[in-house]
Structure 1
Amino acid sequence: MEKTNWRQDEKEIYPLKKTPSITTLPKQNFITITGQGDPNGPEFASKISALYPIAYAIRMAPKKGIEFPGAFEYTVYPLEGFWTLAEGHREGPLDKDYLQYKIMIKQPSFVDRSVFDRAIELAHDKVAPELLSQVKFERFDEGLVGMIMHVGSFDDEPASFAQLADFLATSGYQRTSKEHKEIYISDFRRVPEEKRKTILRVSIEKIK
């Protein structure tokens, strides 16, 4: 059986070049968990740790003799996250304590709620109960988006967002929300700050 790999097979969804791009995304399924606060703190790290055991429980199920209908081999998708600021804290200097996030890992097409529920059971001993109860299975339709690859520290993202904004304006588009998505191509827990690769994605519309 041929193994699918998001890096090769989904280049429009996960563009790995530095050139900004525009695309319309299909509906996609994710396992998710939400929170608020400084992403450098322990709570954010614990929430990430709740997602991976579930994602790998699905990926590794065949090795345990569990065959999900329509399942195929695939590379586990990267961590992603929607980011915004709490109401009343969206103007002025950034206060990371008020950052709100929904972090997630995309799931292949065969994963539905029944597969997710089975994965929760399989990951039961690897995730704290209070975190496991917060993980959800959700479907998103992000629609028309603009994206750019950012290389470096998260604190330096404004320069990449400015480059993306210029590209969108020149192309006749504008953002529809201050919320944005980050896709962590590099594992920021292991890769040095200056080498981190992160896709920045925003929802857009044609300028009328």
Structure 2
Amino acid sequence: MDKFDYRIDETAEYSNATAPSIVHLNERNYLTFEGQGKFDLNDATFKDTVAAMYDLADGIKQAASTSKALDWFRDYQPYPLNSYWRTDGSYMLMVKQPNFTIPELLPVAKEMVKDKYPQEILDNIHFTRQEEGYEVQSNNHGPLTADSTVWDTLNKFVDQHHLTVTDKGHREVYLTNLLTTKSDDWDILVRQSISSDVTKAGLGIITN
């Protein structure tokens, strides 16, 4: 069986288009880390946490490829890092995991990197399963700031289609690796949660 690559098989959900679209984030597995503060790769702890998320996603893939506990396995490209930023100053770092993965793979992956990262960081990275509903999205090229045009793009789309934003926070999906790509070349997919009545608007909705 061919390798699964979200960049090929889920291009609409991980779009680099600036034209807005709507995705339905159904139930899926995630690696998650809950934190407090702001996006700052100059902060050593935040940078270490980001790096640990990338490494653990790679470690789960490696563990899954040899695990006898899985019902099945398909080689895959690890999903991109994403984050959800709340208005109270808290955030969640997340990396989607294939549906065939299981929580028991995370301790194996942590063992692989235990000497690279503080134990406090590793202890606070968890394997979860959750459904997030509908989000409107648009791509931002370069660093994301309060003045980025993506906010106007999303606001105009929401207003034009009479949609309801249900959370003042937002999600950032890092289509390029934050640690190996220059910030001017980042592609960040920005998403905002919207209510389920989007289905009445007659818009195309992407579901994976």
Same fold by TM-score, threshold 0.5 exceeded?
A: yes
Structure 1 residue 11: deviation in Å? 2.3
2:50 partner letter: I
Contact 1:165 1:174 in 2 (8 A): no
Q: Paired residue for 1:21?
A: 21
Per-residue displacement from partner, 1:2-23 (whole Å, max 9, x unpaired)? 1000111112321222210012
Aligned length: 195
Q: Paired residue for 1:60?
A: 62
Give the Cα–Cα distance (whole angstroms) in 2 for the partners of residues 68 and 21 of structure 1: 37
TM-score norm. by structure 2 comes to: 0.84
Give the Cα–Cα distance (whole angstroms) in 2 for the partners of residues 17 and 167 of structure 1: 14
Structure 1 residue 138: deviation in Å? 1.5
Q: Paired residue for 1:46?
A: 48
Q: Paired residue for 1:80?
A: 82
Give the Cα–Cα distance (whole angstroms) in 2 for the partners of residues 159 and 18 of structure 1: 10
Contact 2:63 2:108 in 1 (8 A): no
Structure 1 residue 130: deviation in Å? 1.6
Give the Cα–Cα distance (whole angstroms) in 2 for the partners of residues 134 and 113 of structure 1: 14
TM-score norm. by structure 1 comes to: 0.84
1:53 partner letter: D
1:34 partner letter: E
For structure 1, list consecutive stretches of 5 or more residues without a partner in the other structure: 87-98
Contact 1:22 1:146 in 2 (8 A): yes
Per-residue displacement from partner, 1:156-203 (whole Å, max 9, x unpaired)? 554211211111211221210111110001223333333221000111
Per-residue displacement from partner, 1:15-48 (whole Å, max 9, x unpaired)? 2222100122211111111212232222211211
SS at match of 1:175: coil
Output aligned runs, 1:1-208, within 5 Å: 1-40=1-40, 41-61=43-63, 65-69=66-70, 70-86=72-88, 99-155=89-145, 158-205=148-195, 206=197
Contact 2:163 2:194 in 1 (8 A): yes
Give the Cα–Cα distance (whole angstroms) in 2 for the partners of residues 175 and 57 of structure 1: 36
SS at match of 2:149: helix
Percent identity between matched residues is 28
Structure 1 residue 114: deviation in Å? 2.0
For structure 2, list consecutive stretches of 5 or more residues without a partner in the other structure: 201-208
Contact 2:51 2:179 in 1 (8 A): no
Distance 1:140 1:157, change over 3 A: farther
